[in-house]
């Protein structure tokens, strides 16, 4: 984590004066595999990363919430607790906070108002789920101000998902919020998005997780994410199942598929095959079979490109470049909702330097800049933090 307690505390004091009552930090996440499966009740394998959104907060008693966002150029906003969404085009960033302020009281958290400073060290638009981290950090701050620092983390994630739906207009699944809330240091989390059961999966020794930002800034609320979800729900209705998680690949061929349009069938094929890949990936990591892990990552990227149609040419080129530079042990795939963002790679520690050099030599972002490369450590979930 490159942002520290002192940084967020200083921002709070400069803007509001005095000291914050509580400071929270929530990690971003990178999804190793399992894309667009969460809202289909499927399986995902993300991990929290050592990039965070931090919040410093102090209780108010006038029913008002005052915000400053340090990583948005010091943007400010104010609103009464319980107010509805703001216009996404102008104050959309506040909607994640508005949503948590409006929804947490239904779960036993009393909110009388707050001064809140927000800052983070995640690159924007990289698909690392800064929005879920913000929801969790703000939600836990509200709970801690009400004397509930141990507020149930899975419930916190559910409230964050509801805020994203109702206030940000993105009908996301539960993965981003849940891993940011419940991540386990040194491990990925295999999550069953129907039951919310979680299994920690240790990352094999001698391997690193690398995140490479394509430079293509993405946005969840461009409509395409919600279109994909609607297509998946249409396919589930066609097959008369609660969710695509309840299908296997054999059901997508022959008479069962008759009458379903070709696009929705491809969307369903991605989800069904991605669920199988995700379960297989957890086994490969546990057993240390990194050749198999690489194959699964390559298959996942191809499925996102060909069946789910959520990649873009620069991301495809970057994934191929990384796959070739890494070799057989390990692999790479796009991560996140799609239409830009980052590629995640798992690679031997002794190949980090050569793979980084290959990326810098052969890839430029659409604006002509070198790609941003991060090595990510698996972080724990959202928490209240003490001074350094």
Helix (H, G, I), strand (E, B) or coil at 362: helix
Residue with structure tokens 């020794």? 205
- What radius of gyration, in Å, describes the C-alpha atoms of the chain? 21
Alpha-carbon distances, residue 332 vs 189, 315, 327, 352, 378 (angstroms): 18, 11, 10, 13, 17
3-state secondary structure 151-176: CCHHHHHHHHHHHHHHHHCCCCCCHH
115 is catalytic: no
Give the whole-angstrom CA distance, residue 130 versus residue 69: 13
How many helices (H) and strands (E) would you count in the chain?
11, 12
Element housing 311 (H / E): none
What is the CB neighbour count within 10 angstroms for residue 103?
A: 21
How buried is residue 227: exposed, middle or buried, by Cβ count under 10 Å (0-12/13-18/19+)? Answer: exposed
Question: Which DSSP symbol is given to 136?
Answer: H
What is the CB neighbour count within 10 angstroms for residue 32?
A: 29
Alpha-carbon distances, residue 87 vs 79, 80, 91, 94, 167 (angstroms): 13, 15, 6, 9, 10
> How far apart, in Å, do the first and last CA atoms of the chain sit?
12
Give the whole-angstrom CA distance, residue 10 versus residue 168: 29
Query: Are 12 and 115 contacting, i.e. CB atoms less than 8 angstroms apart?
Result: yes
What phi, psi does 2 have (nearest 5°)?
Answer: -90, -20
Give the whole-angstrom CA distance, residue 67 versus residue 101: 12
Q: Which member of 71, 115, 176, 307 is catalytic?
A: 176
Q: In what order do the strands lie in the sheet with 372-376?
A: 331-335, 342-348, 207-213, 372-376
Residue with structure tokens 């040194």? 186
CA nearest to 54, candidates 151, 121, 129 = 121
For the annotated catalytic residues, the residue numbers are: 176
């Amino acid at each position: 984590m490159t942002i520290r307690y002192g940084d967020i505390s200083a921002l709070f004091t400069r803007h509001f004066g005095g000291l914050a009552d509580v400071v929270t930090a929530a990690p971003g996440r990178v999804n190793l595999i399992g894309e667009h499966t969460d809202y289909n009740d499927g399986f995902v394998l993300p991990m929290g990363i050592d990039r965070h959104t931090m919040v410093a907060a102090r209780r108010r008693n006038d029913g008002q919430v005052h915000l400053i966002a340090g990583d948005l150029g010091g943007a400010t906003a104010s609103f009464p607790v319980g107010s509805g969404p703001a216009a996404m085009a102008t104050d959309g960033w506040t909607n994640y906070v508005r949503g948590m302020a409006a929804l947490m009281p239904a779960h036993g958290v009393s909110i009388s108002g707050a001064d809140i400073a927000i800052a983070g060290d995640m690159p924007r638009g990289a698909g690392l789920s800064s929005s879920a981290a913000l929801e969790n950090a703000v939600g836990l701050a509200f709970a801690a101000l009400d004397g509930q620092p141990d507020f149930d983390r899975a419930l916190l994630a559910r409230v964050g998902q509801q805020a994203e739906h109702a206030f940000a207009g993105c009908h996301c699944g539960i993965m981003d919020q849940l891993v940011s809330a419940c991540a386990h240091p040194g491990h990925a989390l295999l999550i069953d998005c129907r039951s919310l059961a979680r299994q920690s999966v240790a990352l094999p020794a001698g391997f690193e997780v690398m995140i490479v930002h394509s430079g293509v800034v993405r946005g969840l609320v461009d409509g395409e994410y919600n279109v994909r979800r609607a297509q998946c729900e249409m396919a589930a209705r066609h097959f008369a199942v609660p969710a695509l998680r309840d299908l296997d690949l054999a059901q997508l061929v022959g008479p069962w598929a008759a009458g379903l349009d070709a696009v929705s069938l491809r969307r369903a094929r991605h989800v069904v095959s991605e669920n199988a890949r995700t379960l297989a990936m957890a086994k490969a990591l546990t057993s240390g079979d990194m050749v198999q892990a690489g194959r699964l990552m390559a298959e996942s990227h191809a499925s996102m490109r060909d069946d789910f149609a959520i990649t873009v040419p620069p991301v495809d080129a970057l994934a191929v470049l990384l796959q070739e530079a890494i070799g057989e042990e390990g692999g790479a795939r796009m991560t996140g909702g799609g239409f830009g963002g980052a590629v995640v790679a798992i690679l031997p520690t002794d190949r980090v330097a050569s793979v980084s050099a290959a990326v810098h030599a052969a890839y430029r972002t659409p604006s002509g800049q070198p790609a941003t490369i991060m090595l990510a450590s698996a972080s724990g979930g959202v928490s209240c933090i003490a001074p350094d």
